[in-house]
Amino acid sequence: MPANAAPAIPTPADETPANATPAIPTPAIPTPAIPTPAQPAPAGGDAERLGATTGFVREQDTSVLLSRVLPGLDGPELRALTDRCRFAHAAVLVFPPDEYALRADLAACGLSADAPAQPSVVVRERLAARHRRDPADLDVRILRPVVRGPAEEPRAVEVFALTVPPGSGLSVIAAEERRHDHEAHLAFDVARPDPLVLRGLLASFQRHGAAADGGGYNPHEDGTVFYFTAPAGTKTAYRRVELYASGDHRDVLAEHLARPLAASGPTRGTGEPQPAERLLWLLTGAWTTQALAACARLGLPEAMNRHTGVDGAQLARTVGAHPQSTTTLLRYLTMLGVVSDAPDGYRLTEVGALLHPEAPGSMRPLALMYGGPFYQSFGHLTHTVRSGEPGFEHLYGENHFDHFARDPELAALFDQSMASSAAMFDPLPSHPVLTAATASGRPRTVVDVAGGTGELLGRVLTAHPTLRGILLERPQVLAAARTYLDANGVGGRCDYRAGDFSDVPPGGDVYILSRVLHDWDDDRCRGILGHCAEAMPRKADLLVVERLLPDDAGAEPSLATAWDLHMRCNTGGRERTAGHYGRLLEEHGLELTGHTPLALGAHVLHARRP
């Protein structure tokens, strides 16, 4: 990690030597059953604070606690997080005069004092840095007495103890730490962690205002910890939150550690970003886009792999590039978490592997598109904001779709870039509308309107062998769609219709509009929805896949907020809130019955006639 990156903060639960990268080994915790909104008491004497923390740990329900830590988290997303996270422990720092007093306070709170206290190297170093003291003067110990949750599940109270003898000058530290509770935090275990699950959990925490705040991997315990600063509106007294995942997830950790760097830049000792440095990091966002595009164009991912390191000079020779410049690019990509600089050379991380053209779910076409035509058009964002007209049209003299249609190579890249985001479709085939169509016992037809090369329709037909499909697309795209659907063994159950939105075929049972409406302004959306509503039989369903703007887009981080700007600059379209889509649907006699989150910040909206 570069010297100016946000540091990886090791976890205090396992006090390994200072040069190790520790993390918190915590037991798998089942979901508690009883919701209790108790709050810890951050002030007061040690016995009071220990008692409040112990009561808090014993009483909390994971689902309720998550909703309090992340205000606005509810519905399916809260259920998904609760299924994957278990409240594991809360931590408190106390200041006994000696070990006897500590044991007495623990016993008074019903906590076992049998296990010996171990030195806490990490918290000692943090206290020394915060208060400008010699670490050798700070005797900090750690204990983890087990308590039981509402359903008798095992949890822990993580107790850090700084010994403060009577009359000691350390009493100033104790008073300051009691007032601010810097070391207090909540911890959640991740059940059945894998990279996709972890990325989804981390994205959910970020989306609801939690800021990435370090982490670490402990090879001795084979566990990875991810730290967050709680959002400003959190409804608990805890300001730090951690997620613990068993196993080696350093690729995901590298992305997590890069987030505060990219979002905020280096921080002051208080953790508050320095405004000038934060702005500088924000201004370098264009460099990141071009670095990723250059990586893809040069073929660096093909010249690397995730298992064997390659020397920078050898990589430069392989791809035909300037050695020193290649090394500079690789250092930057390492900072971004796209490659790792291992002792034997550079390797792809899981993120970087997505830039390989043959990787499952490859996002290389997106890198080339965002680093190419869309990058150029974003140079005219000021024109878009001033005039309301797409920067793309201002640059190229024609709209996005006409320009691509005249350039077969560019059109193919665009279609491939759309397919690169197909991971958002993974949960869609299990949508109740589609499972109900299968269970009906009679032939049902799914109509995918402007369905591209058939990525989504192929997944639906694969998951539901009794369904048939109709793909409506431009003539030049249908050939690629036939090839794709035939290769996936579902082409025989699909009809292909060449046309535009006025040619929506009638008589289907389920209609799908996936990432279509956001391409257009409201007037054109009304026309598209009108054609669909006219074609839909009375009992047909409509599924709309889009990113949804949060109701308060300025307050809540969201991919849709970024894409809203992108759509306005490049297509003249926009992202919308669920309520906005609901109003457009109502104009055509369709009722929005609900929406469900998908991957990559997307949602599927369900509409039908009342």
Nearest to 64, CA basis, from 193, 188, 244? 188
Nearest to 252, CA basis, from 148, 354, 120? 354
Q: How remote is the C-alpha of 363 from its chain's centroid? A: 16
Cα distance between residue 320 and residue 315, in whole Å: 8
Cα distance between residue 40 and residue 57, in whole Å: 9
Could you tell me if 127 and 269 are in contact, meaning their C-beta atoms sit under 8 angstroms apart? no
Q: What is the dihedral of CA 465, 80, 210, 60, to 10 degrees?
A: -170
Q: DSSP label at 539? A: T
Q: Which amino acid is at 114?
A: D
Cα distance between residue 264 and residue 280, in whole Å: 9
Both tokens assigned to 127: 């206290």
Q: How remote is the C-alpha of 262 from its chain's centroid? A: 14
Cβ contacts of 478 within 8 Å, gap of 6 or more: 471, 496, 498
Which alpha helices (H) appear in 3-160, and where do they start and end? 46-59, 62-69, 75-84, 99-108, 121-131
Specify the 3-state DSSP secondary structure of 299: coil
Catalytic entry in 89, 380, 400, 518: 518
220 included as an active-site residue: no
**Positions of E strands within 379-483:** 444-449, 467-473
Cα distance between residue 601 and residue 290, in whole Å: 23
Cα distance between residue 427 and residue 418, in whole Å: 17
The catalytic site residues sit at 518
